Amino acid sequence: MKFNELDAMEILKVLFTKMVQYNATDLYINTKRRHTEIQYRVDERIINDNNVLDNVIADRLRMILIQNSGGDINNVKEVKSKAYIKLPVININLKIQEELKSDTNTIDIINILLKKNFLHKKNKNTFFVDEEEEIKEDEETFEFRLSVVYKPKGFTIALRYIRNELKNFSLEELGFLKQHENIIHKIQNLPKGLILIVGATGSGKTTTISTFLNDIHQRTNKRILTIEDPIEITNENFEQFEINEEGEEEYRITYSNFKHTLLRQKPDCILIGESRDLDTIMTSISASLTGHLTFTTLHANNVKETIDRLLEIGVERYQIETSLRSIISQQMIPKLCDNCKIEDKENQKHIEGNKTIYKESKEGCEKCYKGFNGKEIIYELAILKDGSTDNYKIKNLENYINKEEVAYEKLLQGKITYNQYKKDLL
């Protein structure tokens, strides 16, 4: 069965289903000269689909996706090669069948999908549903964020699978170690200041920030207000606002009018989506200087790099010193599969106190991909001193945990390999 023999909607169902089955975070549809290639991002690795699509069908997929995310195809067509279009979240309903979840090895998914009516259909030709439509108990809602970038010839589509249910995890379940609870509480109990959560794209910054704030809310019942673009994880405990630059003036929410409108709402803690440029980071800095504990994310690999990055964006050194109180840096590395990991006798000699460490089995098993299954968080925590230039000598800080000690603990817990511990830390 070739992809081209199915119609575009059937193909979309197959792709979404594969995404769910692989536990993929992203789906990429890349047009090439002769055909269109499909890729999945699983645990930060790219997996190519063995099937390729006809470019004509890929273009139909593009139109279906844009239409179903509320975008305007006619406008989108105007956009030239370098434009980046970010469209709102789309909702679809999938009915998960246990046999598909459990047997990840041999099933030919396409054939199963053709035989069984796997996906919930609202009507004959579409499985997209209105947000308002009631979700039945045996169904789950999956959200995707769609981005289409146009190339001189063709386009590339990135579809990020947003796992809203993560909001219920505790920090410990996310992988923050019990022995670091004290420093985490110290960060959460800071009366004011800026807290930066940094990491690469896909390192789970949004999940961590949301869990941090949810934890604060549950322990202290503080009023938490978020301003995001768009809202990534909905949480009933927060007052969440989305950047809205269109429509009538009184309904507009922008980073620049944020101070006058939302700060009057008297929040205790503020989450400001992603700091991408000087404007957004300055919004966070000024919110923190008005006496609010302010959280935001930034693209940087580690604590040291974060301060360089801020200076590079154009923030002044004194502004960093007066506002920045804490940096949480994180990265995700593939997690060993518990089902097939094997003892690593060779590297045992590097480990103090005879503890068993593990490595991946090269073949893997039916529960994993080449010996790894899921991701493990490795983090770095720093509380900076108020208004002090010591902030630039991170290593001397009293409240500082580095990635190496976190990774070593995870190595002893059998979650990562010695090679990852030695080579993969950023």
Report which residue type is found at 147: S
How many whole angstroms separate alpha carbon 99 and alpha carbon 106? 12
Residue 373: CB minimum distance to Zn ion, A: 6
Pairing of strands 155-162, 45-53: unpaired
The nearer residue to Zn ion, 368 or 407, going by C-beta atoms, is: 368
Residue 359: CB minimum distance to Zn ion, A: 12
The nearer residue to Zn ion, 212 or 358, going by C-beta atoms, is: 358
Residue 365: CB minimum distance to Zn ion, A: 3
The nearer residue to Zn ion, 193 or 371, going by C-beta atoms, is: 371
Q: What is the DSSP string of 382-400?
A: EEPPTT-GGGG-GGG-SSE
How many whole angstroms separate alpha carbon 391 and alpha carbon 397? 8
Q: What is the DSSP string of 13-55?
A: HHHHHHHHHHT-SEEEEEE-SSSEEEEEEETTEEEEEEEEE-H
The nearer residue to Zn ion, 245 or 338, going by C-beta atoms, is: 338
The nearer residue to Zn ion, 362 or 393, going by C-beta atoms, is: 362
Omega prior to 230 cis, within 30 of 0: yes
The nearer residue to Zn ion, 107 or 342, going by C-beta atoms, is: 342
Token pair recorded at residue 104: 């990840």
Residue in the structure block whose two tokens are 């979404």: 16
For 211, 227, 324, 404, the CA distances from 295, given in Å and listed in that order, are 12, 10, 10, 25
Q: What is the DSSP string of 275-325?
A: --SHHHHHHHHHHHHTT-EEEEEEE-SSHHHHHHHHHHHT--HHHHHHHEE
Residue 335: CB minimum distance to Zn ion, A: 11
Residue 336: CB minimum distance to Zn ion, A: 8
- Letter string b/e over residues 73-103, b meaning 16 or more CB atoms within 10 A of that residue's CB: eeebeeeeeeeeeebebbbbbbeeeeebeee
Residue 332: CB minimum distance to Zn ion, A: 18
For the beta sheet containing 400-401, the strands, ordered from the edge strand earlier in sequence to the opposite edge, are: 239-242, 224-228, 269-274, 293-299, 193-199, 324-336, 372-383, 400-401
The nearer residue to Zn ion, 47 or 365, going by C-beta atoms, is: 365
The nearer residue to Zn ion, 373 or 402, going by C-beta atoms, is: 373
The nearer residue to Zn ion, 24 or 340, going by C-beta atoms, is: 340
Residue nearest Zn ion, Cβ-based:
337
| CB neighbour list of residue 83: distance below 8 Å, 6 or more residues apart | 149, 150
- Strand residue runs (E) in 173-266: 193-199, 224-228, 239-242
The nearer residue to Zn ion, 11 or 336, going by C-beta atoms, is: 336
Residue 362: CB minimum distance to Zn ion, A: 11
The nearer residue to Zn ion, 105 or 256, going by C-beta atoms, is: 105
Residue 364: CB minimum distance to Zn ion, A: 5
How many whole angstroms separate alpha carbon 170 and alpha carbon 178? 11
Residue 128 DSSP class: B
Q: By three-state DSSP, how is residue 334 classified? A: strand
Residue 420: CB minimum distance to Zn ion, A: 16
Give me the half-sphere count of Cα atoms (radius 13 Å) on the Cβ side of residue 324: 30
| Binding region for Zn ion (CB under 5 A) | 337, 339-340, 364-365, 367-368
Residue 414: CB minimum distance to Zn ion, A: 13
Residue 358: CB minimum distance to Zn ion, A: 11
